[in-house]
Every structure is written in C-alpha cells, then in structure tokens.
Homo-oligomer: A and B are copies of this chain.
Amino acid sequence: MSEKTCKDITLGAAARFLKRNDDYIILTHASPDGDTLGSAYALYYGLKEIGKSAEILCPDLIPAKYSYFAVKTDHIKSEKATVIAVDVADEKLLGALKDSFAGKVKLCIDHHISNTRYAEKLLLDSKASAACEIMYELLVKLKVNINDVTAKALYTGIATDTGCFKFSNVTAKTHLITAELFDYNIDAADINRLMFDTKSKKLLQLERMVLDTAEYHFDDKCILLTVTEEMQEKTGCSGPDLEGIAIISRSVEGVLAGVTIKQTGKEEFKISLRTFEPLDASEICRSLGGGGHKGAAGVTISGTLDMVKEKILSAVKTNMEKTNVWASADK
C-alpha cells in the first residue's frame, strides 16, 4: 500500500468499519509490549461483544506476565480475514509476520507520529500517550460493554507506555480515561507491581555487580556501566532481564549521557545510550553505525572492552562539545 492511498479516518469511521466487516486478524508489533498487546486484546474483546470473530497474531511469544488478559483467541483463515494492525508504526515492526501480511493491512490504529502510512485506512492520534487511549475511545464509540478484563488490558497499555504516568506523553486525557477505567475491577496496583516493581533475585544480584563497574567521565556528566558475559553467566540473567539496567544509567543526578555496555560475544558489545538535552543519543549512535531516538539509542561495536569504551566515550565527547555542555575538550 503506497503512502498516497492511505486514508486518515475518524473514530466514527473506524467504528463503522468494525461493524461492517468480520473475521478479523489483529496484528501486534514484534517484541510485544503492554500497549500493543493491551490494545489488541481490548479490540478483540470489543469485537466479540458485537458478535464478530477475531484472532490476535503476535510475531513473537507473548510474555507470561500478560496472561491476566492475553487469552487464546479464535482462529481465522487468513484468506478471508480483515487485517488490522495496532500500535504498529511501520510494517517492518511486524517482524516474522511481515512477509505474510505486508500490504494487507486494512486498518491501522496507532499513536506514533512516525507512522509510515502503510495501511489502507489509518486511525492515528499522535497526541495519545498509548494506542490503548485511542482503543478506549473506539470501544466507547462502538457502545460495547467494557468488562473488567478489557479494562485491565487498556490500563496496562496506558500504564506501560507512560512509565506509569511518569513521562511527558501524559495528558489530562490520559488521566481522564484512566479514571474511567477505575470504574472496573482492574486491580491497578497489582498490574503496576507486575509491570514495574518486580525484580528477580538474580537481577538484584546482577545490579549489584553492575554498580561496581560504574565509571564517571567528563565532569561526571557521563556514566558508564558494564555488563560482562561473566556477570550474565554467574547470575543467570539474560536478554530480557537486562532491559532495566540501562534505566539505572539515566537516573544519576547531573548525568547527561548514560552508557550501558553489554557484552554479547567474545569481542562484541551492545551499547544502550540514554541522554538528556541538549545531547542527542540518536546522533551519537548513528556516528558509530547504530540508531534510535533522541533520548534513547543503541549500537553494536566489535573490539575489546577497552576499545569499545574509547569509541563510545569519544562519540559522546564530540556531541558534548558540539552542544557546548562540556567545553573543555582537551581534558
């Protein structure tokens, strides 16, 4: 589907579309998070309420922690399906499902301003903190009965995409919709504990080791944390466990660049960079062959740990000089 033929539609038009069609396949993005899953399941439950059949297809395994709303759905034959994508900004993000569904998405419901307009119809609200905000409004527009599980799915998406109402994407509307969701039995505190405050013993042990590696550079404006293969083996922490480590690096007072170096092979390291203005993580990582957003980006570099540290520190220094946060470049 080319950009030219993608049509922006309203909530009302989207509701009519859902009533008119049937046999939906709802696609989520790869590495599914609370918002893509929450909005997919809320839509699924809403469609069931109006007597439709629907199946949710996720390119990756759905993490067990979402099992309080993520149930088994219908099976829909893809030949006759009406395909919808939720919280998917780009067909590339369909991962393993891309080959089967590229060019076949009839309706995309999304909140990313970067949406590539790959669908036939697009319900986009880039001011929404989460796709689940839009999905709540769509269910209200459809006048379907929202049950407790649907409300939990919607709450999960909003809470996870806003860092539990912490980030700058939160608006008055975010809180108003959330207030409505509190009319149901959503056990919000339990959801929040599961999503935000549950660390395994082994992760706590890894965090202790990682804190031992803390190095400060450039008048303490940059912190560098290292996670070696040895630490991962010793604690038994792997891939998804490590997501939270980068958060530590962005939480130190006065730090503008938080670098987390994770060893992924004998001489291969994956760098997660978190920056605050005026620094630009995306620019720094791009200069080394990586990419990402302004505040969070990444890059994989080969070499010894010392070489990798030197490369990333040098790139951070260049950006600091360019943005005048650290004038004394000859330090």
- Judge whether B199 and A252 touch: CB under 8 Å: yes
Q: Provided the pairs A166-B197, A199-B252, A251-B199 are in contact, do residues A179 and B175 lie with their beta carbons within 8 angstroms? A: yes
- Judge whether B196 and A252 touch: CB under 8 Å: no
Q: Kindly state whether residue A81 has any CB partner on chain B within 8 Å.
A: no
Interface residues of A in 275-309 (CB under 8 A from B): 276
The CA of A172 and the CA of B179, in the complex, are separated in Å by 4
Q: Kindly state whether residue A198 has any CB partner on chain B within 8 Å.
A: yes
Q: How far is the CB of A256 from chain B (nearest CB, A)?
A: 11
Q: Please name the residue on chain B nearest to A195 by beta carbon.
A: B166
- Judge whether A192 and B176 touch: CB under 8 Å: no
- Judge whether A251 and B198 touch: CB under 8 Å: yes
Report how many residues on chain A are interfacial, defined by Cβ distance under 8 Å. 43
Q: Kindly state whether residue A178 has any CB partner on chain B within 8 Å.
A: yes
Q: Provided the pairs A165-B164, A175-B176, A176-B176 are in contact, do residues A200 and B170 lie with their beta carbons within 8 angstroms? A: no
Encode A191-227 as 1/0 by CB contact (under 8 A) with B: 0110011111100110110011010100010000000
Q: Choose from B172, B182, B200 the contact partner of A253 (Cβ within 8 Å).
A: B200
Q: Please name the residue on chain B nearest to A248 by beta carbon.
A: B204
- Judge whether B175 and A175 touch: CB under 8 Å: yes
- Judge whether B192 and A182 touch: CB under 8 Å: no
Q: Which of A171, A189, A200 has the most CB of B within 10 A?
A: A189
Q: Kindly state whether residue A3 has any CB partner on chain B within 8 Å.
A: no
- Judge whether A175 and B164 touch: CB under 8 Å: no
Encode A162-188 as 1/0 by CB contact (under 8 A) with B: 011111101111111011101100001
Encode A233-267 as 1/0 by CB contact (under 8 A) with B: 00000000000000010111100000000000000
Shortest 7 CB-CB contacts between residues of A and residues of B: A168-B189, A172-B182, A175-B179, A208-B211, A166-B192, A197-B251, A172-B179
